[in-house]
A and B are shown apart, each in its own frame.
Chain A
Amino acid sequence: MSRAPILHGRIQRVRHGRQTVLSDVDLRIEPACWTAIVGPNGAGKSTLLRCLAGLQSMVGEVSLGGRPIGAWPGRERGRTLAWLGQAEQGADDLRASDVVMLGRLPHQPWLAPPSPADHAAVERAMLATQSWAWRERPMGQLSGGERQRVLLARALAVEADVLLMDEPLSHLDPPHQADWLQIVRELVVAGRTVVSVLHELNVALMADRLVVMQQGRVLHHGPCDDPLCHDAVREVFEQRVRLHQLDGQWVALPVL
């Protein structure tokens, strides 16, 4: 291990009712790195991400920056760790810019109005996700893709050191998926950490590190271009994917 992990989750067990969703996970997320979590449906990817964000009740410990996540005061944690959930509903009556401004909540004193720095951060985030054009429209009037980009901008506006995103590419067409990739690469270069749960294997295979999950356990965690990693991917998807290299990028194709 070259660097101290910025997020370290030691999860013994997470249960939903009678079902055990996660068991015996020991995951170290490296800083300044993009880690993608992949796995079949029901593998526990979203639950793992929620545990790392401190949003899931579990048996175990998660530490952020060396401190247990429970010991972090709410706002400080909010400034350090940003979260984007899967298919977030709601806020249909708020305007897009108001939703993105919510991302600045951890930075604002209790009743203070937004500062110029907040407005600047919101603008930067919305321009990056190309959602600045409809900042005055209510969320309820946006299409799926437009809405997702606004929610993405909200997560970016926090300008946190760690960004956890669950299915960030849902509803996004290829050009905007490319935009997202660009944003992540820039964040990593700037020293931020990104962890994303991805269904799109092709995009996931472009990450720095891959976490492969199966039935509530981590099967493999390592660099993306490692053959062991590819074996693990093929294994969790029951050998029904083929991995090929195309122009220096790995792509996954279903076996017909």
Chain B
Amino acid sequence: MNRRGWGLGLVLIALTALAGVLALSVGSTGWSGPQAWGADPLAWQIAWEVRAPRSMGAWLAGALLALSGALAQGVFRNPLADPYLLGSSSGAALGVAACLAWLGVGPASADVWVRLGVSGAAFLGSVMAVALTLVLARGVQHTLRLLLAGVVVGVVLGALSALTMLMVPDITRAMQAFMLGTTGFIGWPAVGTMAPVLVVCLLLALGGSRALDAMSLGDAAASSLGVSVTWARWVLVLVLSAATGTAVAQAGLISFVGLVAPHLVRSVVSVTHGALMVLSCLAGGLLLLLADVLARWLIAPQELPVGVLTAVLGGSYLLWRMNRSSGGLT
């Protein structure tokens, strides 16, 4: 990683630390900084039990989504790729819709769904949608076929979840909250699930990052350099699905983070995929953490959907950078 890359990494870590302090101080009463904790024992407990896991969960979910986005953009050589392009968003939505529709209705079905939970249903739905896409595209050989299959699966499953919402209107509000992203209920168990997944996925992504670099010159060039393109694509698609599924299961369908975090990194430095993975994780985590803080702060004690804020924050920064370098934009 070159010097600018290290510099960006340090800046992102520093900003994340700042955002972390902010996150612990902002809640349903607006700002209540660390000095309040000493006075009020409840405040300290709330900060630890409610705000800390939520903030850490937001950071982890943002990092997972950004990692997926960077992988998707590398595997498909498409700067508009995002974590959901293989149908995982519609699959997760369908899983959640099915779970909500059956939850609390009838004793037998309730048991399965309660055990699974909304998070489990979202993860399962997401992973199964990607599996369906891989089956329809008959493997990862042709990226175009994979993309088209992903679109088809996304549209069909999306229609099915819309149908479920129409048939069981009680779940509409809860589904809306899921679709716009929600970090409100992330607790320590969720953090405990996401952290190891992030570590494993990041390590695997780093392992495949050289292959991604080679593949950016084309399948033929990569093949001639001894890279097994099919094998690399399989592993990376599975990693990106696992990362996306985990993030979506805990935080809902947060859009834009996965798409924009790698671009934010690339607008500052030119790095190989290995460094891009790490820096994207840092950028994505920071973005979602800031969005979560603002979602809690702006209309406390009410809450804005965090997906709206990621779009506003990420999009504004990207527009600003594009304007600044509009002369040199290729």
Minimum Cβ distance to chain A for residue B35 (Å): 45
Are B220 and A50 interface neighbours, CB within 8 A? Answer: yes
Are A90 and B266 interface neighbours, CB within 8 A? Answer: no
| Residue B108, interface by CB 8 Å | no
Are B227 and A74 interface neighbours, CB within 8 A? Answer: yes
Known: A55-B220, A91-B216. A138 touches B270 (CB 8 A): yes
| Residue B302, interface by CB 8 Å | no
Are A88 and B272 interface neighbours, CB within 8 A? Answer: no
| Residue B145, interface by CB 8 Å | no
Residue in chain B with minimal CB distance to A138:
B270
Residue in chain A with minimal CB distance to B77:
A90
Are A55 and B214 interface neighbours, CB within 8 A? Answer: no
| Residue A19, interface by CB 8 Å | no
| Residue A99, interface by CB 8 Å | yes
Q: Which residues of A contact B272 (CB under 8 A)?
A: 94, 98
Give the dominant DSSP class at A's interface: mixed
Interface size for A (C-beta < 8 A) is 39
Over the window 81-97 of chain A, the binary record of Cβ atoms lying under 8 Å from chain B Cβ atoms (1 yes, 0 no) is 11111001111111100
With beta carbons under 8 angstroms apart, the residue of B217, B224, B330 that contacts A99 is B217
| Residue B221, interface by CB 8 Å | yes
Interface size for B (C-beta < 8 A) is 24
With beta carbons under 8 angstroms apart, the residue of A50, A77, A91 that contacts B226 is A77
List CB contacts (< 8 Å) of B47-98 with chain A.
77
Residue in chain B with minimal CB distance to A166:
B220
| Residue B223, interface by CB 8 Å | yes
List CB contacts (< 8 Å) of B226-263 with chain A.
226-228
A98 to B77, CA, bound (A): 17
Q: Of residues B77, B213, B216, B224, which shows the largest number of chain A Cβ atoms within 10 Å of its Cβ?
A: B224
Report A's interface with B, CB cutoff 8 A.
50, 53-55, 73-79, 81-85, 88-95, 98-99, 102-103, 105-106, 108, 110-111, 138, 140-141, 151, 154, 158
Smallest CB-CB A-B distances: 4 pairs: A78-B226, A83-B224, A74-B226, A75-B226
Report B's interface with A, CB cutoff 8 A.
2, 77, 206-207, 210, 213-214, 216-218, 220-221, 223-228, 266, 270-272, 328, 330
